[in-house]
Amino acid sequence: MSKYKALAVVTKYWRPNRNFWEEIIKGVNGKIADGDFVVVSEKAILTARNNFVDENIVRPGLNARLIATFWMHIAWGYFLGPLCHFREKLLQRLREYPSGMGSRHKQVALERAGLLQALMFGSEGGIDGSNLPYSYVSLPMNNADEVAQKICTLIWNKLRKKVCVVIVDTDKTYSFMNFHFTPRPKPVKGIHSFGGFVIYVAGRCLRLKRRATPIAAAGCKMTVEAALEIAEVANHVRGYGAGRTVWDMAEKFETELAGVSWEMLETVKHKPIVIVRSKR
């Protein structure tokens, strides 16, 4: 049983250029106490900061096209997917991986994250299209520590509460005893990032304990284990917004993969902030 309890804060969808600093203050005002953990979704911040690219204008090269067709259809659809214990619905989606859109996505992954990440089945190097419209994908945050510290300072200046701010990504960290590793680049110190799809397959195949990945923390000192537990508690109560994957989003809104709009996303309850508190 977890030693933490959590409260998800529902806000409007953070469209590009939304003042997310103000949204965080407004969201936690009257709800936080000294010593709380304020956990913020990296994806929500990335969207508000326009930190995404439109894959519709990308021109894929030969390597990207090969990955999107043969590698995704065959390697993931028939070998790696079953090895990772994927459900049949996801396996079928991989076997029907869209060559056109997929090639453009893999080109972005190759350019931004490298080959080992591009060979992932999704969220390559932290590049993710869930909860974004059309053909947009977010790019991972480069200054997460700075953002976390700024949020922490802002909460103190505006609300006079001493809290710990944690920025979290839904990409998983795997744990083998006291060794924690993830294919996701730039996690918090103490979590090892390497290997791309190889590490992902190993973690899933061996059914290792997996939790959401904290990528930055500010305002307090905590162990890696505590950061992982807090990240996972927050992830559990936050949910997946419009969908865990672009396939789930398209299915929810009954549209094609690139047919989800900003207006559709705004109809869904979004919980970019979670307040986590020790039960003690």
Question: In a structure prediction context, what are the per-residue pLDDT tens digits for the chain, which is 280 residues long?
Answer: 679 999 999 999 999 999 999 999 999 999 999 999 999 999 999 999 999 999 999 999 999 999 999 999 999 999 999 999 999 999 999 999 999 999 999 999 999 999 999 999 999 999 999 999 999 999 999 999 999 999 999 999 999 999 999 999 999 999 999 999 999 999 999 999 999 999 999 999 999 999 999 999 999 999 999 999 999 999 999 998 899 999 999 999 999 999 999 999 999 999 999 999 998 7
C-alpha pair distances (Å), 41 with each of 103, 110, 147, 165, 204: 28, 25, 12, 11, 23
Residue 175, amino acid = S
Q: Tell me the CB-side half-sphere exposure of residue 121, using CA atoms within 13 A.
A: 28
Residue 55, amino acid = E
Nearest Cα neighbor of 47 from 111, 139, 160, 153 is: 139
**Cα separation, 54 vs 101, whole angstroms:** 11
Q: Which domains does the chain have, with CATH numbers?
A: 4-50+142-278 (3.30.1330.100), 53-138 (no CATH)
Total Cβ atoms within 10 A of residue 144: 24
DSSP at 85: T
What is the signed CA dihedral for 90, 96, 100, 101, rounded to 10 degrees? -20
For residue 95, give both structure tokens.
């076997």
Give the model's pLDDT for residue 2.
Answer: 75
Give the model's pLDDT for residue 1.
Answer: 67
For residue 276, give both structure tokens.
């986590």
Give the model's pLDDT for residue 245.
Answer: 93
Total Cβ atoms within 10 A of residue 63: 15
The answer to pTM > 0.75 is yes
Give the model's pLDDT for residue 279.
Answer: 85
**Cα separation, 56 vs 36, whole angstroms:** 41
196: left (phi over 0), alpha (psi -120 to 50) or beta: left
**Cα separation, 239 vs 244, whole angstroms:** 9
